[in-house]
Amino acid sequence: MAKVKMKRTGFVLDMTPLVDIAFLLLTFFMFTAKFKSEAESEQKFQIKRPKASADTAKLPDKNLAIIKIAIDSITPNDTSYYYEMSNEKDRSIVYATAPGLDDAQRKKMQIKASLTTLDGLIRETRITNLNTKFAIDADKRVRFKWVSDCMEVMRKNRATAFNLVTDKKQGM
Amino acid sequence: MAGGGSLGEGREKTKRGKPSKRKKKKRVGFHLDMTPLVDIAFLLLTFFMFTTTMTQPQVMEMLVPPEIDKEVKVKISELYTLRLRADGKLFYHLAEDAPQLMELKNLKRMAFEENLKQKNRLITVLKIDDGAPYEMVIKILDELNLAEGDLVPELSKLKMTRERRFTIAPMTDKDIEEIKSL
């Protein structure tokens, strides 16, 4: 029997489940997305964090002051301290009152600091808001001297409890 | 059209066996072109997928003693000293013994055993050379924290609660001299 040649008509694909899943994923990623803070978008360096496995605590979001010890990406031997705060209200007060800063620095979100300016910044932060949590976010390649000096400055200002920022070790 | 209308019809007559009470309505099948919608949805989806970073930084909590010039007396037999040399090599000694080289992978076991022997009495002192890489410091702290995780259940078997005694002490010239030639 001869096959009847069917004329092809445009076929319709039911895209509903596809769209369902696509939107589900989209909403998931939209809600979980966390964008870089203003201070981070300013920075030109990237910190390679050391890896640790024992701790599971997460970095607090509120009232956080981070001291970053980074190796500048342009000149590899240039290590500096960078100071940033997450609380905007406190930040404006601290940056305006901390000694040893010029006007250009005060406007920035992230301050490149020496050890003495860091001392002033930490002191002002402690005066402004006693609940501020401190964290040291240091590159794993820096010498320990940078970290111990920073810890000493914090100790002087009675910020004796602080966090060291690490990355999770994979495969543990 | 694409079966949109006809799909419901059969169902309305019998809903789980029972005859439906709903009034039968003749549906006019209607078709919506979803292509642009899907385009945009996928565009956004790929954007958010590529921009999100799943790994959040973790923190390691540290406590340093406040600046009080008060002498704290400790027994030297309870001191477990770890020294990190500038080249990243780790040395340990108990009380006043001679310092010995230690592999990082043994640190967890050693810290665990020594602590268990002295049952909460042991004070771990970590002395770090200024030139030592920060990565090593974190690794050591991590190993000690891991040992802590083993110690807590072990001591609770002995009806004891773990009290951690740990400090970071400055590395003196004498310390450097002692481990220099090892």
Q: In chain B, positions 22-51, which contact chain A (CB-CB < 8 Å)?
A: 34, 37-38, 41-42, 44-45, 48-49, 51
Going by the DSSP 8-state scheme, the letter that residue B29 receives in this structure is -
Q: Which domain holds residue A49?
A: 38-168
Q: How many domains does chain B have?
A: 1
Is residue B117, in this structure, part of any structural domain at all? yes
The pLDDT assigned to B88 comes to 77
Q: In chain B, positions 128-167, which contact chain A (CB-CB < 8 Å)?
A: 128-135, 137-139, 141-142, 145-146, 148-149
Q: Is the pLDDT of residue B41 over 70?
A: yes
Q: How many domains does chain A have?
A: 1
Is residue A148, in this structure, part of any structural domain at all? yes
The pLDDT assigned to A77 comes to 67
Is residue B112, in this structure, part of any structural domain at all? yes
Q: In chain A, which residue's Cα lies nearest the Cα of B64?
A: A160
Q: How far apart are CA B57 and CA B55, in angstroms?
A: 6
- Mutation pick from B52, B56, B58, B135 vs chain A, by most beta carbons of A within 10 Å, is B58
Q: How far apart are CA B88 and CA B128, in angstroms?
A: 9
Is residue B105, in this structure, part of any structural domain at all? yes
Give me the phi and psi of B166, to 5 degrees please.
Answer: -145, 140
The pLDDT assigned to B141 comes to 84
Kindly determine whether residue A144 and residue B135, on different chains, have CB atoms separated by under 8 Å. Answer: no
The pLDDT assigned to B91 comes to 83
ipTM of model? 0.72
**What residues have CB less than 8 Å from B47, skipping those under 6 apart?**
none
pLDDT band at B10 (very low <50, low <70, confident <90, very high): very low
Is residue B5, in this structure, part of any structural domain at all? no
**Does the CB of B69 have a partner CB in chain A at under 8 Å?**
no
How far is C-alpha B111 from the chain's CA centre? 19
What Cα–Cα distance (Å) separates residue A3 from each residue in A6, A45, B118? 9, 70, 91
The pLDDT assigned to B55 comes to 65
Question: Which chain B residues are within 8 Å of A69, Cβ to Cβ?
Answer: 134
Is residue B154, in this structure, part of any structural domain at all? yes
Is residue B19, in this structure, part of any structural domain at all? no
Question: Which chain A residues are within 8 Å of B133, Cβ to Cβ?
Answer: 140-144
The pLDDT assigned to B3 comes to 41
Question: Of the ranges B23-32, B112-121, B133-142, which is most confident?
Answer: B133-142
The pLDDT assigned to B1 comes to 41
Q: Is the pLDDT of residue B151 over 60?
A: yes
The pLDDT assigned to B17 comes to 57
Picking from A71, A172, A89, the residue whose alpha carbon sits closest to that of residue A131 is: A89
Q: Which domain holds residue B148?
A: 76-180
CB distance A163 to A59 below 8 Å: yes
Residue segments in chain A with a per-residue pLDDT below the cut of 70: 1-7, 36-39, 41-42, 54-56, 73-77, 170-172
The pLDDT assigned to A38 comes to 67
Name the token pair of A162: 């602080």
**% of chain B with per-residue pLDDT over 70:** 80
The pLDDT assigned to B7 comes to 44
The pLDDT assigned to B14 comes to 52
The pLDDT assigned to B8 comes to 43
Per-residue pLDDT, averaged over B111-130, amounts to 79
Is residue B166, in this structure, part of any structural domain at all? yes
**What's the sign of the alpha-carbon dihedral B178, B179, B181, B182?**
positive
Is residue B140, in this structure, part of any structural domain at all? yes
Give B3-10 contacts, CB < 8 A, sequence gap 24+: B3/B29, B4/B29, B4/B30, B4/B31, B5/B29
Is residue A22, in this structure, part of any structural domain at all? no
Q: In chain A, which residue's Cα lies nearest the Cα of B60?
A: A164
CB distance B74 to B96 below 8 Å: no
For chain B, the average pLDDT equals 75
CATH number for B84: 3.30.420.270
Residue range B42-92, pLDDT digits in tens: 898 888 888 877 667 777 777 777 766 666 777 777 788 888 888 878 888
